Amino acid sequence: MSASAVWAVTPNFAVLRIDPATATRTVRSRAVRAAAVAAGEAGVWVLGTDGTVVRLDERTARVRARAHVPTDSATAIAVGADAAWVTSAADGTLWRVGHHGELGSIQIGAGITDVAATADGVWIVNPMAVTLVRVDPATTEADEPLALGAIPRSVASDGKTVWVAASGAAHAASTSPVAGVKALPASMCEPVRAGPEGRADVLVVSDLPLQGGKRLTAERMSQAIEFVLRERGFRAGRLRVA
């Protein structure tokens, strides 16, 4: 929600500007094939399914700035005081998109998903590492990750407090080389995830589409698979699963 409107993404990837007083649609934008929209002090920003990021005029929804995040796994977007912030789950990069589309990046760690921006911090959750990380928006330096007792799913802030929605007690998954199974080539697959002991008897591979609009559904399915494995301690009966 911005100062004068509510913004939403439709099932067919358009962005709607909604008058909060009348609950009526005032503008529809198809500037990009939208995956997510966020608003903050730095304006209204849209993340496209192909990694394109645009800043929209708050009144007309016309494009005021455009950038492309060079990743195939742009995941979530948040807007801070002077920039938009985009997470990339596969390579663990947090991207800063400036007011005119200039790009900067910081490496956080593979598995990062949702992001929230406040005046004094950009907050990122990592379900794979079971952590919350704060990045200083001025220096783009990351604090030490905060270990959580449950798998973080989303993060939000009311300006004073940061809230994390989490589910199920969990330990961080091992992403180092896993003894007992052979990983697929890095060009085809993300790092193998296993239990804390870093050993496995069998490897489950998900062959899901990661291009276009289907990528959003595929990522949710992948997260669901990992969630079930975590709940069961990365085990299926006597077998250790990766």
pTM score of the predicted model: 0.78
Displacement of CA 181 from its chain's centroid (Å): 28
Question: Are residue 182 and residue 162 in the same domain, yes or no?
Answer: no
Residue 86: Cβ-neighbour burial (10 angstroms; 0-12, 13-18, 19+): buried
Question: Are residue 16 and residue 71 in the same domain, yes or no?
Answer: yes
Question: Are residue 106 and residue 146 in the same domain, yes or no?
Answer: yes
Say how far apart CA 229 and CA 11 lie, in whole Å.
30
The CATH number of the domain holding residue 45 is 2.130.10.10
Say how far apart CA 111 and CA 191 lie, in whole Å.
10
Residue 77, domain member (yes or no): yes
CB 125 within 8 A of CB 131: yes
| Tokens read off for 218 | 């595929």
Question: Are residue 152 and residue 37 in the same domain, yes or no?
Answer: yes
- Averaged over successive runs of 10 residues, the pLDDT of the chain (242 residues) comes to 91 94 95 95 95 96 96 91 93 94 94 93 92 96 93 90 84 69 78 83 85 70 81 89 92
Domain count along the chain? 2
Question: Are residue 43 and residue 148 in the same domain, yes or no?
Answer: yes
| Nearest residue to 149 (alpha-carbon basis) of 161, 133, 167, 122 | 167
Tell me what pLDDT residue 217 has. 76
Question: Are residue 57 and residue 105 in the same domain, yes or no?
Answer: yes
Question: Are residue 157 and residue 185 in the same domain, yes or no?
Answer: no
CB 148 within 8 A of CB 130: yes
Residue 91, domain member (yes or no): yes
Which of these three, 115, 144, 169, is where a domain ends?
Answer: 169
Q: What share of the chain is helix, strand, coil (3-state, %, to 5)?
A: 5, 45, 50
Tell me what pLDDT residue 167 has. 81
Sheet strands side by side (includes 115-118): 115-118, 121-126, 131-135, 146-147
Residue 1, domain member (yes or no): no
Domain carrying residue 132: 6-169
Residue 145, domain member (yes or no): yes
Tell me what pLDDT residue 19 has. 95
The most distant pair of C-alpha atoms in the chain lies apart, rounded to whole Å, by 60
Question: Are residue 82 and residue 115 in the same domain, yes or no?
Answer: yes
